[in-house]
Every structure is written in C-alpha cells, then in structure tokens.
Structure 1
Amino acid sequence: MMLYLDYAATSPLYEEVIDTITEVMKQHYGNPSSIHGLGVQAEKLLNSAKEVMAGILGVLAAQIICTSGGTESNNLAIKGAAYSYHNRGKHLITTQIEHPSVKEVFIQLEQEGFRVTYLSVNHAGSIDIAALKAAICEDTILVSIMYVNNEVGTIQPIQDIGELLADYPKILFHVDAVQGIAKLPLRLKEWGIDLCSASAHKFRGPKGAGLLYRREGVQLKPLLVGGGQESGLRSGTENVPLIVGMAKALRISTEQLAAKTAHKYHIRRLFVEGIREIPQLRLTGSEIEEEMAPHIVHFSYAGMKAEVVVHALEQREIYLSTKSACASDESDPSYVMLAMGCSPEQAVSGLRISFSDEHNEQDVEQFLAALRGVVRELAPMVQKPAERRGKRR
C-alpha cells in the first residue's frame, strides 16, 4: 500500500478544499476589482476568506496580504522591510539554517550593501537568545527567524525572541511560519511578531497561494507594482479560488489543533523509537520532544547517499525526502546539518519523514519494516570514511 511521508514538501488537498475551489472557479469567476455584480461577488469571497484567516490567527483582515506562497511572502517581508527602513539602518539578523527562500534573500541583500549576521545553532538546531541579543546594534532593523526548521524540524524559541525584541521597538521581527502554522500554536500579537509568512500547500491547501501577516504600521516596499491590489503591496489580480481554498484548508487544519498535535507527537514517538533501534541510523535534532515539531522526524545513514535510500523506499511505494524540496542539488551536503555540527558524511545522508494527523500506528510499522529491509540490502554498499577519502584522492 502506498505510503506518503513527505507532507513538509507538500500535502494533498482536503476533499472539501478541492470542492470549494472547483465551485468558486465555476460560479465566481469575476475579477474582484471589477465594479459589476460578478466582480462584487468575487470581492466578497476574497474579503470573507481574509476574515476567516485573520480570525484564526487572531488579527485583523486588513493585516493579511495574499501572495503566491511562502517564497513570495518571505521575499516581500524581508526585502520590503529592508528597502523601507534602510535609512534607519542596514544591519539584518537571521540564522544559518533558514529555508532557501529566506537565505538567498539575505545573500542578495548583502550584495546590495546590507550587513547580515547569521546566527549559529547548537547540535539540536536551535539558536541562543544571548547570541541574538549580542548581535543587535544601533543599525539593526530586522530579525528574521523561522518558527520550525523545514528540514530537521527544530522549533525555534519564537516567543522568547519576541519578548527580547520588545525592548527594541525599532527592530522588526519576521517569522517564516511555513512549517509551523496549523501544526503548533501561533500567537502573532502576543509574541510580538511584525511579519509572518505562510503557504497553503503545507496545510493541505492549494499550491500557488500563501499569505503574509503585516502588523499595522509596518511599512513594506512592494516587489510587484501595477494595479495596486492588496493595499498596494502586491499588485496583480487576486486568485480568488485558491485564496478561498487556502482559508478553508486553514480552518480545517486548525480545528481541534491540540488533539491533532498530540496525536502527531504520539506517531512521531513511534517513528523515533523504531529508527533508534536500527544501529546504522542516527536521529537529528533535540532529544527533548517539545523542542521538535510534531510532524517531522529527521535521521541520517552515514556512508550512504540519501537519494539511494529514497529511491529504494520508493520501490516499496513509500515516499519521503532528503532535505528541502527547494534544495538545488540533492547530492550536496545539507547546510542545515553542517551548521548543526554534523559530519559531511551525515550531511549527505539526511532523510526526512513528515506526516499528518491522519497517519496511524500501522503506517509507522509499514515504514519501519521497509526501512529495516532497505538498510539490510544497502549494508554491503556502505562506504567507511577511509574508503571515501581514498576515492577523493
């Protein structure tokens, strides 16, 4: 039986979401900027979807900017803030383990004259709050730190960071919550978050839809100009069917969130216990469960390239990932794992399981049985470090 364990890469749509998107495409195809009846209907749907999402997040609908996904939301938040506040300062702070849609933005901003501090992480993948405080200077205008690492699943201390930055009211706080939203509690106002990115297809909504929360009063320079949609911050005709689908998916995903999270932690525990019993494998991240996301388990198989294991499991109709689905080359060592102090051998052999609240104990048993079989089959192919060094020479 096919077993999909790659929900952190993308997730299948809820059937109700598919039905909703289909209905809106068929019945409400007007341009929400048009003044005639069809346009007004589309605009009402758009506003209603924003109200739903804002209500779930505990903010105002006017603070929700609809985008094409997490990448655009991250770009708009970081570049938009940097360009708007560069007269105040040109120092930015992030971490060494951000998603490429954040990491590459900061690299680009460095090329444009901004100065960036990349905070290191410990062996579990977490930053040190004291190091963040030490990095802040008079020139700092933005701190951007992800909620949950997309590769290994480490939860960053977002609430503590927000409390620290409350003493620095001129510094904006951006959170990439793509892997955290609808998985863990997210209290935007309470935690002092100024900008927050999310992507619908990570919580069983459609690809091509995302959102950016912007606290009232925060200025952003738009990346796209034209018709002035989304309060002038994101020009282009809104994709009403996908936005409505995103709102529905967010509502379904966050219903009974505590119970769903508890179930996923139970399933995660079973994955962790089973992987720990296979001596060739090594778990990544913190051993403290509360410091790891409920839906991600990461491990490595030193001496074996990760893609070999992925394809071996694929032959058994089990699907998982090596690292970020946005990574440029699967054979490159994981920069996230290297930053966590893992060896290069481990960093090319990382594997990620990610799952939903609908997965059960039988799914875990099926995966572990297949994984044990794959490890046995691949054992003769595993190279020792000395052998790998000899090949490089």
Structure 2
Amino acid sequence: MIYLDNAATTALSKKALEKLITVSQEVFGNPSSIHSFGRKANLILRQARQEIAQVLQVPTDTIIFTSGGSEADNLAIKGYALANQKRGKHLITTAIEHHAVLHTMQYLEERFGFDVTYLQPIDQQITAEQVKDALREDTILVSVMYANNETGNLLPVQEIGQLLKDHPAVFHVDAVQVAGKVPLYPEDMNIDFLAASAHKFHGPKGVGFLYSKQASFDSLIHGGKQERHHRAGTENLPAIAAMATALVEQFKFKTPHLEHVIGLRKQFFEQMAGIDYYLNQDENALAHIINIGFPNQLNEQLLMQLDLAGIAVSSGSACTAGVIQNSHVLEAFYGKRSPRLKESIRISFSETNTSEEVTKLTTILKEIIGGTATWHLKQQ
C-alpha cells in the first residue's frame, strides 16, 4: 500500500510513538495535582510547552494546548470575537479557508450578528491589497490560512501581518498545513493567534496547540483553570508530549525533508510528461501538495481505481470524507459549474514517501488515463 494523502494526516513518527507510550505508562498523574505523581506530570507538560515555544521562538506562556487545529481555530476566532464585540463586529477571512474557519465565521454571523467579509481569490490568489481594501474601523479580526490545505497555495501572511501593524484588528493564522514544514515565527510576522495540529506533522491525532499573543478572549470549555484559564480540562499529557517530540524532530530536519519532497515532486512531473493535465495551484505552492486535474477523467473513478491499485490520494479536504463533494476552494477559483471540480485530485507527499512509490503512482495513473489499467488492477 502506498499512502499519498499526507495533507489529510501523517503517520506517527517512531520517536513520537515512543514518547506517547512512555508517558502513558510512566507518567499517569494529573498535572494539576500537587503530589509527586502530579508534579512529575506537570514537569512533562511544562517541558512540552517549552519545546514548542522554542521552535516558534515565542514565550512559553503563549502556547495553549487543544484537541487539534479545529479547536484552536474556534478558540481564537470565537473567543476573541465574542470577548471584543463591543469594539466592532466586522471580521475578514477568505473564501478558501478550511471549514474550521469558514463554519466558525458563519456561526458568528448567524448567531451573534457579526459582519464577515469573505475575500474571493483573483487568479487563484489572495492579496494583502484585498485585506487592506476590506479593513474598516470596526474590523476586529482578520483570519487567513498560511497554506491552503487543498491546493498548497501560500497566502501572503507576512505582508498581511505588516499591514495590520497599523490597524487594531488582530491577526489569526491557520498554520495547520505548514507547521513542521517551514520556519514558523509568529512574532516576526505580527501574528496574534496561530493554530497547529499534531497529526499533520507526524504527531498523534486529537491534539494541537494555539499560539496566543492576546490574553483577552473567551473560553470555549469551562471548568478548571488549565491552559491560562482558556481551556478547562485535564490535559492529554501523552499526546501533548508526543506532539512536542514530533514538532522538534520535524523542525530539526525540515531542510532535508523539504529537499526530499521537492525531489519527489520533480520526479512526478517528469514521469507525467506527455499526459494531458492541468494544475490548480501556482508555482510557489507548498511542495508537499499537488492538486492536479485530468480533462474528461472523473476524480471519483480515479480515486477508486488508484485505491484498488493500493494507492491512497484524495479529492481535497479529509473533513468532507465519506462523500466526494465539490471542493469549495476550486469553486472559488473556477465557479460552481467548472468541469475541474469533477476532474481534480490531491496528491500529498511527506518525507516518508519514496521514489519507487512515485514511479508506481505515475505508472498506474498513465494506465488509467490511457484506458489500459483493467488488467493491471485485477492483478493487485
């Protein structure tokens, strides 16, 4: 089996798994307890927070542990908007955000009367100029993802951060697709909130973190005083420790990992020479993601045939799994009637993939598109 859906989730690294098991077995105390078991657990918790803060080059107390990227996005957007709505009720985001952001914005519109501006991509791009033009005196928050999870396109986070230095609105960045892959220093980019999820960088599922420079925002979960009073509940210590281990490991080897992925990407396109295809991404997209379409080839059938051949790719976000739905990102690019919505698939690499896997992928893709895949697939 060949796994090429790393933008959806990644395999747990060996070191992260070892940390997960060790902490589960040996450090089972509640980090909030004052006895020796609790103190030992609290030490592991503080070490994990410090390790993540060091990777981001931020103060340790700015890291809040969550159940993943979706909760981190919700906590930042809902929490800040509801706590600061007397200052203004205008929010800015883009039409190509992850649903963890889009559905949160829609909730604030429908339930609390917020006014949300959804920036539409122009030639597949969101620009800082669009954000500048959308800003108002009552704008209190701007939310823009670092890299799109379906196309890999990078958004102008650095430019937007600089722009917002002269405006009171806070800046939230969904960095789920880039954490562990690119240098990520929120203070240098004037980012107020940054969300990440462990399972995107070879950590466990069900855990993530929110970097928060801001202190004035409401909690979503009430109860205890954990996580600077912003996220009640006993921390998932084994998963948090494993997440920190995974992030440190990814950061340490980010350059050779990126070089490896760039090599796989180059090989893919070299081996697809002569095949009719188009790309739904720009040349500066995250190297790990290829969003590609094949004219007159239904993505549903492509996915099924690749799966039968033992290759896992996707049609877009895993958060709509179970049903192949049209991509809201590609709809924003091309409109709801474009044939590209039914022809495009997403291939996403990690450093764990190999050249041999890419060769098998391109070989089978060419057989499917050329109509010669029947015999080959029956032999799998």
TM-score scaled by length of structure 2? 0.94
User: Structure 1 residue 181: deviation in Å?
Assistant: 0.9
Residues 251-260 or 222-231, more deviating: 251-260
Which residue of the partner structure matches residue 242 of structure 1?
Answer: 239
Unaligned 5+ segments in structure 2 are: 375-380
- Could you give the per-residue CA deviations for residues 122-159 of structure 1, whole angstroms, max 9, x where no partner exists? 33x32022111000000100000000100111011111
- Identify the range of structure 1 (260-269 vs 51-60) with the bigger mean alpha-carbon deviation: 260-269
For 2:327 and 2:274, locate their aligned partners in 1 and report how far apart those are by CA, in whole Å.
24
Following superposition, the deviation at residue 11 of structure 1 comes to: 0.6
Residue 151 of structure 1 aligns with which residue? 150
Q: Please tell me the root mean square deviation across aligned C-alpha atoms, in Å.
A: 1.7
Distance in structure 2 (CA, Å) of the matches to 1:276 and 1:227: 58
Q: Report the Cα distance in structure 2 between the residues aligned to 1:378 and 1:196, rounded to whole angstroms.
A: 47
Residue in structure 1 matched with residue 260 of structure 2 by the alignment: 263
2:91–2:141: 8 Å Cα contact kept in structure 1? yes
Structure 1 residues 222 and 293: alpha-carbon distance in aligned structure 2, compared to 1, 3 A threshold = same
Contact 1:141 1:172 in 2 (8 A): yes
On the 8 A contact 2:364/2:373 being kept in 1, the answer is no
Given candidates 201, 204, 222, the residue that maps to 1:203 is 201
**Alignment check: 8 A CA contact 1:200 1:207 kept:** yes
Question: What are the superposed Cα offsets for residues 319-377 of structure 1, whole Å, 9 maximum, x if unpaired?
Answer: 11111000266433211001112653111222111111232322221110011112123
Provide the C-alpha distance between the structure 2 equivalents of 1:178 and 1:145, rounded to a whole number of angstroms: 12
What letter corresponds to residue 176 of structure 2 in structure 1? V
Q: 2:275 aligned with 1:282, yes or no?
A: no
Match of 2:249 among 249, 252, 255: 252
Q: Which amino acid aligns with 1:333?
A: N
Q: 1:316 corresponds to which residue? A: 309
1:197 partner amino acid:
A
Aligned length: 372
Q: Which residue of 2 aligns with 1:47?
A: 46
SS at match of 1:16: helix
**Inter-CA distance 263–4: structure 2 relative to 1 (3 Å threshold):** same
Q: Kindly indicate whether residue 184 of structure 2 is the aligned counterpart of residue 186 of structure 1.
A: yes
Q: In the alignment, residue 345 of structure 2 is paired with which amino acid? A: L
Residues 183 and 294, structure 1, Cα contact 8 Å, conserved in 2: no
In the TM superposition, what is the alpha-carbon distance from 1:260 to its structure 2 partner? 1.9
User: Partners in 2 of 1:164 and 1:379 — Cα distance?
Assistant: 52
In the TM superposition, what is the alpha-carbon distance from 1:276 to its structure 2 partner?
A: 5.4
Distance 1:188 1:42 in 2: 28
User: 2:175 — aligned with what?
Assistant: 177
Structure 1, unpaired ranges of 5+? 381-393
Matched, 1:358 2:336: no
The answer to whether the 8 A contact 1:100-1:327 is kept is: no
Map residues 10-89 of structure 1 onto 2, 5 A cutoff.
10-89=9-88
Which residue in 2 is equivalent to 1:300? 293
The residue aligned with 1:94 is: 93
The residue aligned with 1:122 is 122
What whole-Å deviation, never above 9, does each CA across 1:206-257 have from its counterpart, x for those lacking one?
0011000001x44110000001211110001000000000000001111132
Distance 1:367 1:57 in 2: 35
Residue type at the aligned position of 1:282? Y
Match of 1:353, SS state, is: strand
1:110 aligns with 2:103: no
Q: Distance in 2 between matches of 1:339 and 1:238?
A: 38
Q: Give 2:181's aligned amino acid.
A: K
What TM-score do the two structures reach when normalised by structure 1?
0.91
CA contact under 8 A between 1:333 and 1:344: conserved in structure 2? Answer: no
Distance 1:379 1:122, change over 3 A: farther
Q: Alpha carbons of 1:328 and 1:223: their partners in 2 closer, same or farther (altered >3 Å)?
A: same
Do structure 1's residue 135 and structure 2's residue 129 form an aligned pair?
no
Instruction: Give the distance between the partners of 2:34 and 2:101, measured in 1 at CA.
Output: 38
* Deviation at residue 187 of structure 1 after TM alignment: 1.6
Q: Which amino acid aligns with 2:157?
A: I
Deviation at 1:266, TM superposition (A): 2.3
Give aligned-pair identity as a percent.
40
CA, structure 1 residues 276+141, in 2 after alignment: closer, same or farther (shift >3 Å)?
Answer: farther
CA contact (8 A) 2:148 2:154 kept: yes
